[in-house]
Amino acid sequence: KPVVAIVGRPNVGKSTLFNRLAGNRIAIVEDRPGVTRDRIYASSEWLTHQFHIIDTGGIEVGSEDEILFRIREQAELAIAEANAIIFVADGKEGVTPADQEVAQILFRSRKPVALAVNKVDNPDQINNIYSFYELGLGEPFAISAEHGTGIGDLLDQVMADIPEDFEETE
C-alpha cells in the first residue's frame, strides 16, 4: 500500500487530520532508535484506495530555530518514506517563512505534494487560501480537519498523484 505522510508546522492541525483519516482503526506508534520524533502509522482508505498514513507530528518545544530544524527533519523523513505528502498549513495564520522553507524542500524532492490549507471552517474564509498559491505547490485545498470538510477533494488529489507503480516502502 502507498504511504502518505502528513507534514507541517506545529499547531496547524496535522494530528486532527490524521485522526480523521485514521478513523477508529488502530494506530501504531513506532519508536525507533536514532529517530528524534515518534511517527504514528495507521491504515486508511478513501473510496477504493487503501493506504498507510503517517503523522510526523508530535509535541514541539524549544526555540524557533529548534522547531524549524524539526520541521525540516520531518520533511526529509516524509520525502524518504512516503509515496505522497500532505503538507498542512494554517489558513487562519496565512503563509509563514517556515511554510515557505518546507515548501522549497518538498518541491525540490519531486515527490507528489498536496497542499492542505486547514482551519477554513466556513465558506466565507475561502479567500484565505489564495495567498498559498505563492508556495508553488499547485492548487491549495481548503479543508477543515475539525469539521471534516474539503477532505474528499484533497484525497482525490493525493490518490491521483501516486504513481500506479509506486515503490513499496517497508
> Considering the rule CB under 6 A, would residue 70 count as an interface residue with ligand GDP?
no
Phi then psi for 116, rounded to 5 degrees? Answer: -105, 120
Strands (E), 56-106: 84-90
C-beta of 66: minimal distance to ligand GDP in Å? Answer: 15
Residue 84 contacts residue 113 (beta carbons within 8 Å): yes
Quick one: which of 3, 119, 137, 159 contacts ligand GDP (CB under 6 A)? Answer: 119
- Binding-site residue total for ligand GDP (CB under 6 A)? 15
Q: Could you count the other beta carbons within 10 Å of the beta carbon of residue 43? A: 16
83/144 with CB nearer ligand GDP = 144
The dihedral through the CA atoms of 67, 32, 23, 163 has a sign that is: positive
Residues 135-164 touching ligand GDP, rule: CB under 6 A, are 144-146
Q: At what angle do helices 14-22 and 151-161 cross, to 10 degrees?
A: 80
Which 10-49 residues touch ligand GDP, going by CB under 6 A?
10-16
Which one of 22, 56, 57, 155 is in contact with ligand GDP (CB under 6 A)?
Answer: 57
Q: Point out which residues bind ligand GDP (CB under 6 A).
A: 8, 10-16, 57, 118-119, 121, 144-146
